[in-house]
A and B are shown apart, each in its own frame.
Chain A
Amino acid sequence: GENVEQHPSTLSVQEGDSAVIKCTYSDSASNYFPWYKQELGKGPQLIIDIRSNVGEKKDQRIAVTLNKTAKHFSLHITETQPEDSAVYFCAASREGAQKLVFGQGTRLTINP
């Protein structure tokens, strides 16, 4: 089955700097890659996703890149703000699949 590895497990950056979180996946048939943000005491919230027919997608300060050949994808947050502090999860699934396979999470801390 699919296996998703995420790193780093923790990341601390200065406010205003960029943050990058990376994930690799094992199943070459996976074609949907969402990113979720989880704040303390809340459930994960979808922030951006990408499908395998594109290499990059951007939404304001957040972007995701996908390299299907290497089977890895990354989340990029620019101009970080204190409210970006949270745990971020990547995930992967196949076309038509019902379940997502999640990475282990990255705890991002933005230092003022």
Chain B
Amino acid sequence: GAGVSQTPSNKVTEKGKYVELRCDPISGHTALYWYRQSLGQGPEFLIYFQGTGAADDSGLPNDRFFAVRPEGSVSTLKIQRTERGDSAVYLCASSLTGTANYGYTFGSGTRLTVV
């Protein structure tokens, strides 16, 4: 596709449930990033993939968060036992190279609300 696609655009879930958020990067982009944006804040880094492997997962807040990219294209961010504090917009971005120095292309995000 022409841009980074994220689905669903909105997700409401009950506390304690499991959720999956999907990201379809720009075709040919080997680098993929997940960021989390809380209300009124800038995006915060969660995890970076180069190809199929997670090259840097230092931003994942705890072991309830996990992400995969099995074929080096689509990625899924998985959150177990959701908590109200997980409510945020989850942004995915991709880039042609593996460095931030050439800018990212972000998707429109998934707004997650935990009730």
Contact = CB atoms under 8 A, between A and B. Distances in A.
B12 interface: no
B98 interface: yes
B8 interface: no
Q: How large is the interface on A (under 10, 10 to 19, 20 to 34, 35 or more residues)?
A: 20 to 34
A42 B31 contact: no
A99 B99 CA distance: 8
Question: Which one of B42, B43, B45 has the highest number of Cβ atoms from chain A below 10 Å of its Cβ?
Answer: B42
Given A89-B42, A102-B43, A97 B100 contact: yes
B55 A98 contact: yes
Contact of B41 (A36, A98, A105): A105
Q: How large is the interface on B (under 10, 10 to 19, 20 to 34, 35 or more residues)?
A: 20 to 34
B31 A98 contact: yes
Contacts of B108: 41-43
A99 B42 contact: no
9 contacts: A34-B103, A43-B93, A43-B109, A44-B91, A44-B106, A93-B100, A97-B100, A98-B31, A101-B45
